[in-house]
Amino acid sequence: MALLRILETPDPVLRQISTPVEKVDDELRTLIEDMFETMYDAPGIGLAAVQVGVPKRLLVMDLQEPENPDDPESPPVKEPRVFINPEILSHSDHDVPYTEGCLSVPDQYAEVMRPDRIRARWLDEQGESHEEDLDGLLAVCLQHEMDHLEGVLFIDHLSKLKRDMVLKKLAKTRKERGLRAA
């Protein structure tokens, strides 16, 4: 297991279109393990391979939702999920807002509208095919991660004004970090 470096905007690799995974093998499963370790360490709930510099259609997710939905402080339940070559087959016409963040746009959050239900197909880490209807945070997160496979970041869904604000805040945060480190 190894921690991988997470690329941050405006790294041009994040804008690449990821290519399909051809073979689900041990090499890929090692990358998947490293991606989980990196995601949990960050910490985050989703990570696409391109975010660690591998532009392949692979992403990992673990929503780590609290054991007791009424108590956000209750211990998170670990439910790792792997999506290889994911496809969205259909989506509802009903868009809902969700406040999103991204490990490649660190510490910045903004509301994005997306369909609340999707039907998706993907392969798991054993190469088995799955097709399911997804909703809630799972649907939001999968759509966010699948955007990464097309070189799209959540800030691209914002108005120019809003996006510029987020990028300005990001630059400010980075500058403050740099000063503290100096």
Question: Is residue 102 part of an annotated ligand binding site?
Answer: yes
For Ni ion, the closer of residues 102 and 140 by Cβ is 102
Q: Does 61 bind Ni ion (CB under 5 A)?
A: no
Q: Where are the alpha helices (DSSP H) in the chain?
A: 26-41, 136-149, 160-181
- Greatest Cα pair distance, the chain, in angstroms, is 50
Contacts for 96 with CB less than 8 Å, ≥ 6 apart: 113, 114, 115, 116
**Which residue is listed with tokens 């990196």?**
38
Residue 47 CB, nearest distance to Ni ion (Å)? 8
Smaller CB separation from Ni ion, 102 or 120:
102
**Is residue 107 within 8 Å of residue 173, measured between CB atoms?**
yes
For Ni ion, the binding residues in 12-51 under the rule CB under 5 A are none
Residue tagged 């391109």 (tokens): 50
Backbone angles phi, psi at 103, to 5 degrees: -65, -20
Q: Any contact of residue 102 with Ni ion (CB under 5 A)?
A: yes
**Which one of the spans 4-12, 26-34, 71-79, 101-109 is the region binding Ni ion (CB under 5 A)?**
101-109
Which of 33, 79, 145, 176 does the annotation list as catalytic?
A: 145
- The question of whether 145 is a catalytic residue gets the answer yes
For the beta sheet containing 129-135, the strands, ordered from the edge strand earlier in sequence to the opposite edge, are: 46-48, 58-61, 81-91, 117-123, 129-135
Residue closer to Ni ion by CB (options 6, 181) is: 6
Judge whether 144 is annotated as a binding position: yes
The residue nearest Ni ion at its CB is 102
Report the helix count and the strand count for the chain, using DSSP H and E.
3, 7
CB of 43 to Ni ion, least distance (A): 13
- Tell me the chain's radius of gyration from C-alpha atoms: 17
Between 69 and 144, name the residue whose CB sits nearer to Ni ion. Answer: 144
Least distance CB 144 / Ni ion (angstroms): 6
Residues in contact with Ni ion by CB under 5 A are: 102
Residues annotated as catalytic are 145
Q: Which residues are annotated as a binding site for Fe cation?
A: 102, 144, 148
